[in-house]
Amino acid sequence: WHLEARGVEVRLGVPLSRVERRSIGANRQYRLRFATGEAIAADGVILATPAFVSAELIGTIDHELAATLREIPYASSAIVSLAFPKEAIAHPLEGHGYLVPRAEHRPVLACTWSSRKWADRAPDDAVLMRVFLGRHGQESLLGGPDDQLIALAQAEIRRMLGIDARPLLSRVHRWPRGMPQYTIGHLDRLATIAHCLEEHPGLLLAGNAYRGVGLPDCIAAGEAAAQGTHQVVTALAPPRAATIDHGTDPRRSPVYG
Ligand SMILES: Cc1cc2nc3c(=O)[nH]c(=O)nc-3n(C[C@H](O)[C@H](O)[C@H](O)COP(=O)(O)OP(=O)(O)OC[C@H]3O[C@@H](n4cnc5c(N)ncnc54)[C@H](O)[C@@H]3O)c2cc1C
């Protein structure tokens, strides 16, 4: 809300369909087309969308950039949350959970003891755990029904923690293509992306696809992109507010400009 208080219009739930390029080096050199049919002319654009989405958005203005973005692979995962009565767990649960290395050849990536890690995640007499399923290249099991994933998660904690109790609660959350994979060649892809972006001043990329998947990395990427955009926009003279146009519909006038 502090942005809106400073005159920034925040619009949520409006998917972007395409980024177009207008005259190079001029003010308002980008036009953003939305799924609603609206368009915005802009000096600067930050795409914080997944790389495969960004590839489609900029596909018409830079084929090489789009192709390189599409090369970044993504893994899907599912999280099974299980709650148990505290008295049903003999394991001391000292710590916050554990990770399972790929060499173990198991479908489980990790198990976190959420109620140990964070306050107020479960009532005092209960324990909440999250079992992470799915690994890049081994995601076929994620297509199964919730019951199957819950059974897998229960088998995991039975084996690792000796918990055989019936859960008080079980929930499945799926994250399709949620985690970019920095596979061999990633740095080369980043170099190509940076090279392509030199042709598009004011167009910047942020998000977890490039230089770190953790939330602090994503925040840093967003801040760097904001600074980069600010530099480009302030170098263009004279500064003006963004303009929204509404395509060819004559009943709708520009909101401001
Ligand atoms: C299961 C799981 C657990 C994780 N746990 C942790 C953790 O414990 N700690 C940690 O630091 N990190 C964790 N991560 C990693 C971290 O959460 C992610 O890397 C980070 O949230 C990604 O942020 P992002 O902004 O790049 O992407 P997203 O949050 O995916 O944002 C991309 C946005 O783009 C929007 N979008 C897509 N298409 C369009 C379009 N056409 N027009 C407009 N908008 C569009 C989407 O709606 C979405 O809001 C976890 C990730 C997963 C999947």
Q: For 207-234, what is each residue's pLDDT tens digit?
A: 999 999 999 999 999 999 999 999 988 8
Q: For 9-35, what is each residue's pLDDT tens digit?
A: 899 999 999 999 987 666 778 999 999
Is 75-178 a CATH 3.40.190.10 domain? no
3-class SS string, 3-46: HHHCCCCCCCCCCEEEEEECCCCCCCCEEEEECCCCEEEECCEE
* SS3 assignment, position 194: helix
Closest residue CA from atom 31 of ligand 1: 49
Instruction: Tell which wins on pLDDT, 23 or 63.
Output: 63
CA distance 2 to 112: 35
Q: Is the peptide bond before 239 cis (omega within 30 degrees of 0)?
A: no
Locate the ligand 1 atom nearest the alpha carbon of residue 222 and give its number. Answer: 25
Please give the distance, rounded to the nearest whole angstrom, from the Cα atom of residue 173 to the centre of ligand 1. 14
Structural domain spans, the chain: 2-72+183-245, 75-178
Closest residue CA from atom 6 of ligand 1: 214
Q: Which fold has domain 2-72+183-245?
A: FAD/NAD(P)-binding domain (3.50.50)
pLDDT of residue 246: 46
Q: Is the peptide bond before 167 cis (omega within 30 degrees of 0)?
A: no
Mean pLDDT over all residues of the chain? 89
CA distance 101 to 12: 38
ipTM: 0.98
2-72+183-245 matches 75-178 in fold:
no
CA distance 73 to 75: 7
pLDDT of residue 238: 60
pLDDT of residue 20: 95
